[in-house]
Amino acid sequence: MWHTEYEDPEAALRASLTRLGLDYVDMYLIHWPNNGFSSPKVPMHILWPRVEALQQKGLTKAVGVSNFNVQLLADLLTYCVVKPACN
């Protein structure tokens, strides 16, 4: 998921699934932890539960992050229910 899709990750994933002709993806990633370009800004503690919900709905088998530094990962691990499968 690109930072411009933080406000509605489910809509973004469903659009991708439609374009790909799939029912689910194996893994869905938050590509880049940059809220500087998104509007409105969505804090990670709000965004991550939205991403976890995608797995619970069966739209993805796993969720993860990309390009997160150690500090961001440590923060995420304090409130996540589903740990990111990769970084």
Can you tell me the mean pLDDT for 38-56?
90
d(CA 82, CA 36): 25
65 or 42, greater pLDDT: 65
H/E segment holding residue 29: strand 25-30
Q: Which pTM value belongs to this model?
A: 0.90
Task: Give the pLDDT band of residue 33 (cuts 50, 70, 90).
Answer: confident
